[in-house]
Amino acid sequence: MAFRNLRSADRGGVRTITIQRPDKLNALDRATLDELMQAFQQARVDPGVRVVVLAGAGDKAFVAGADIAAMSDFDAAQAQAFSRAGQALMRTIEQLGKPVIARLQGYALGGGMELAMACHLRIAARRARLGQPEINLGLIPGFGGTQRLLRLAGRGAALELCLLGQPIDAERALALGLVTRVVDDGALDAAVAELADNLAAAAPRALAGILDAVDTGGECALDQGLAYETQTFALCFASADRREGMHAFLERRKPVFSGR
Ligand code: COA
């Protein structure tokens, strides 16, 4: 289906979803949240899609936050609904069952940082700036920022970023574990494409198992997480791709994974 605020393009097994509001630094209003939800639901069920890249249009911003103009007249009930819609989108991305890479070329602020943190991998250009500046608006993060920042980077970093509201540069984000990799500004697209292609060639069921086990394990006690890992590991042995991967190794050839 056609989107108003998104563009979607496929290359091999890689689907790139680009938020397309560059004049507003790709700020997230309700319509954009809803379109993103539809786009990710489509990506989830399309067997041709093995990896998703999430990007923001233009040079300046991945996403500069939730749309402040749209939020400015919210009452508490509207704010609650908006927060829930944002959080539902973030959880859908996190639980997509396919790897999602955030391409961070500029500002990833507020809802933009929350969106990036819901992705599984984040590649940043050196000039990217990340932060949770909601405090400057008299707000707290509402799309999961307090919770995912805490889980990704720990209590100290979560409190520092949310309490001070000051953006950090890509190198600091890397040091905090908030981004996977930092590359020179001109090398971002090649780095994202290389990573996406690698993941698109991997065994989809095993990728899904890893995403699921890590997501589940992040929220439960170690013994439960280990039991879950065992079940997921065992399930891999029912897949054609597991056979292909092991036979290819023993036959000294490159595996070709079908997704079965
Ligand atoms: N919501 C709505 N509109 C936004 C926005 C947001 N989060 N972030 C930027 N925009 C809009 C600006 O209002 C401006 O629109 P206009 O040209 O119609 O006036 C346009 O995007 C360009 O932004 P501008 O502020 O002129 O760019 P800049 O380079 O001077 O500053 C930022 C860039 C990112 C530092 C600045 O836009 C900013 O602080 N944005 C808000 C960040 C934020 O608080 N996010 C959390 C929201 S909960």
Q: Where are the domains of the chain?
A: 6-200, 204-250
CA of 119 to the centre of ligand 1 (A): 23
For the annotated catalytic residues, the residue numbers are: 114, 134
175 Cβ below 6 A of ligand 1 = no
Q: Is 46 left (phi over 0), alpha (psi -120 to 50) or beta?
A: beta
67 Cβ below 6 A of ligand 1 = yes
pLDDT digits (tens, 9 = 90+) for 94-143: 999 999 999 999 999 999 999 999 999 999 999 999 999 999 999 999 99
Radius of gyration of the chain (CA): 19
Q: So what's the pLDDT on residue 79?
A: 98
Bridge partners (DSSP) listed for residue 109 = 131
Q: So what's the pLDDT on residue 1?
A: 67
Whether 6-200 shares its CATH topology with 204-250 is answered no
Which of 185, 160, 235 shows the shortest CA–CA distance to 205? Answer: 235
Please name the residue whose Cα sits nearest to atom 4 of ligand 1: 24
pTM above threshold 0.95: yes
Query: What percentage of residues in the chain have a pLDDT greater than 70?
Result: 100
pLDDT digits (tens, 9 = 90+) for 39-73: 999 999 999 999 999 999 999 999 999 999 999 99
Q: So what's the pLDDT on residue 161?
A: 98
Ligand 1 atom with the smallest distance to the CA of 141 is 48
70 Cβ below 6 A of ligand 1 = no
CA of 23 to the centre of ligand 1 (A): 9
Topology of the domain covering 204-250: Lyase 2-enoyl-coa Hydratase; Chain  A, domain 2 (1.10.12)
> Average of pLDDT values for 197-201?
98
pLDDT at position 2 over 90: no
Inter-helix orientation angle 76-94/111-118, to 10°: 30
Per CATH, the homologous superfamily of domain 6-200 is 2-enoyl-CoA Hydratase; Chain A, domain 1 (3.90.226.10)
